[in-house]
């Protein structure tokens, strides 16, 4: 409150308000009073009454509300950031779990096969079967094509 020449404490403000109502304040004191009512955090029946009378109540209240809103916004941003971090960690953990590590294993009739060569041989066998089936399909298609060609000759 050092900005004000005549007001350093809440009591001084209340005394100045009394003097204002009695018409004993100077122009400079009146300006300071208006300024102080708009800015200062003090609150009492006399001070709030003066604010109301002099039209600063709404301004003061809106200042307080603005400060409260700012604080709420900060709190919400903090909560949102925490949620975002938790979700981010969750997503990363999921992603990490789904990244394939080094695995080379087969289960045959309930028996575990862990020899890489054996497992790779089993894969080769599976792929050969697929190849034969794909070949059979291709052969069927080509013989169908040949038959149509012969028929057209």
Q: Does 121 bind other proteins (CB under 8 A)?
A: no
Q: Does 115 bind other proteins (CB under 8 A)?
A: no
Residues binding other proteins: number (CB under 8 A)? 42
Q: Does 23 bind other proteins (CB under 8 A)?
A: no
- CA nearest 17: which of 41, 51, 40? 51
Part of the chain binding other proteins (CB under 8 A), chosen from 24-32, 52-60, 132-140, 145-153 = 132-140
- What tokens were used for 87? 């979700």
> Exposed, middle or buried by CB within 10 Å (0-12, 13-18, 19+), for 10?
middle
Structure-token match 């298609």, residue found: 141
- CA nearest 56: which of 35, 26, 42, 70? 35
- What tokens were used for 28? 């400079």
Binds other proteins by CB under 8 A, chosen from 80, 142, 145, 147: 80
Residues of this chain that bind other proteins (CB under 8 A): 76-77, 79-81, 83-84, 87-88, 90-91, 94-95, 98, 100-110, 116, 119-120, 122-124, 126-131, 133-134, 136-137, 140
């Amino acid at each position: 409150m050092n900005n004000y020449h005549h007001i350093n404490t809440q009591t001084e403000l209340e005394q100045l308000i009394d003097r204002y109502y009695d018409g004993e304040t100077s122009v400079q004191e009146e300006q300071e009073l208006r300024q102080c009512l708009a800015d200062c955090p003090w609150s009492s029946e006399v001070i709030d009454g003066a604010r109301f009378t002099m039209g600063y109540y709404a301004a003061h209240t809106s200042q307080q509300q603005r400060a409260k809103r700012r604080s709420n916004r900060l709190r919400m941003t903090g909560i949102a950031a925490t949620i975002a971090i938790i979700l981010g960690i969750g997503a990363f953990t999921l992603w990490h779990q789904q990244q394939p590590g080094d695995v080379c294993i087969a289960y045959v009739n309930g028996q575990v096969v862990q020899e890489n060569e054996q497992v790779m041989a089993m894969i080769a066998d599976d792929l050969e079967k697929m190849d034969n089936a794909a070949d059979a399909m291709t052969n069927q298609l080509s013989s169908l094509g040949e038959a149509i060609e012969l028929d057209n000759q």
